[in-house]
Structure 1
Amino acid sequence: MKSKHLFVLFFFLFNATLFCQVPQSFSYQAVVRNSTNELIKNSPVKIRISIGYYMAFGIPPQLTFFPVYTETHQTTTNENGLFSLMVGGGTPVSGRFDTIPWSGNTFYIKTEIDPANTGNYTISSISKILSVPYALRAERSDNGIVAYGLIDSDGTVLAGSGNFTVQKTSLFGGGLYYVSWNNTSGIDNNKLIVSITPYDTASYTTLYTYSCRITDQGFMVSFYANEQLMSVKFSFLVINPY
């Protein structure tokens, strides 16, 4: 069977219409082509969109993508191989679109495409969001990173913001970790966004968020990997969206 490789050309269309209320979406389009540069026309495709940060961890530094919001779309390309969708209007997978801290931050959009509608996303592309609709940016004017870090399988902090502690437990084969920090700035912990990302995907296949809860000392998150925990590293990012 001949394998088919696809690639996409992405571009954004931001609506210029004025709204009485802040719109919680923006237009997004992509042209899908195969490995011979032929358009994939009139075909159903499944799209997974993630918006997040890029941050560098480790020695030497390795860029890691932290998604703060992910959603999926089911759509169809037209006769020109083009599909259109509204980012923020899909089926949410994680995070909330209306809490993305646009102001003062550089965001990237990751687009994954499942051209066969099998649940297997065979195309992945990450692009910098060069322009954010003014209404969205203005609505989120006082936001910031609360904490971030890179942790290994022993619970050792390899890099990060320095304002958090890590505790490794014996649960789940030693794969359950607690990351916490004191809330000295009066942040509403229930509204924080937590993004956890595998640092080395070769060491395991799936990273699960086990629980998120509030403690007297501040916010705490626990997570674990599902396979061998030798040489596992994971990164986390916490942002305050309000």
Structure 2
Amino acid sequence: MKKITLLLFLGIGLVMYGQTPEKISFQAVVRNADQNIVGNKAVGFKLSILSTSVSGTVIYSETHTPTTNINGLVSLEIGTGSVVMGNFSTIDWGANTYYVKTEIDLDGGTNYTISGTSQLLSVPYALHAKKAENVFSGNYDDLTNKPKSNAIKTYKVGDFAHGGVVFWVDETEQHGLVCSKINQSNATKWFAGTFGNTHAKGNGLFSGKANNSIIIATHASIGDDDNLYAARLCNELEITENSIMYGDWYLPSKYELNLIFQNLSAINATAITNGGEAFTNDVYWSSTEETSSRVWVLNFANGQESTVLKNISNRVRAIRSF
């Protein structure tokens, strides 16, 4: 029997449908002993699945009688031919290494004179996945060795988390801002020394963090860093909740302070429930500077925004991002 190596081009690929079919696509270019293409002719094919090696046990075989095209090409589907032996649908593709043996009769009969064997690589594993799919009921509780759930934690305004009370969350509900559950001071100046520009004029989400750094740097540069002031109180704050220490607090921007006021009822309730205190009906500092002498504040008695002199005393409530 002549070998197929020089006479046959073998191509095997999975036929893709909405559901995995129990068949494998197969293409071959048929040539005769003189290497000439055998075109527009009925030929006999016997396809067999072998386990373990090229000389392994035949576990399934079938026959086909296709007609080659003008280029000698035939396209078949293993699993749809006339069965000689075995059951294609019961092959456990994940249990072994498999090979496909091809035998050809150029006259269209069963007197096979050309043969060759090639290893099946990744193709059957889609079929293996289909078999696994059929085993699982679809009920998580039916699984053994259940995987750990990695469900994403989300948050809402009023939650007690990340060291404080949530007062804003982004669209993913995974990140946001929290405020401390207690006041950091009832009477603290914004600027410890003389008036001067800090250029801490940021306003909006997270801008208070940059403002805080600018204010502290300015105090250090003028040699007035020994006195306590609003930004420094927040910067040096350390709060421990559930054995986790949070130390990245800052003085909120005008915008962030307004977000707190908009959700004041929920924030106060959560703070008190978790051993904290409600916001006082009084004026709180923001970190947003207006001029060299004035800073934006918010009156929590009525929600009124205004600017006041930096060297007077107001309340402080720190925030952080998560």
Higher relative contact order (CA 8 A, sep 6+): 1
TM-score normalised over the length of structure 2: 0.38
User: By percentage of residues, which structure has more helix?
Assistant: 2
TM (norm. structure 1) is 0.49
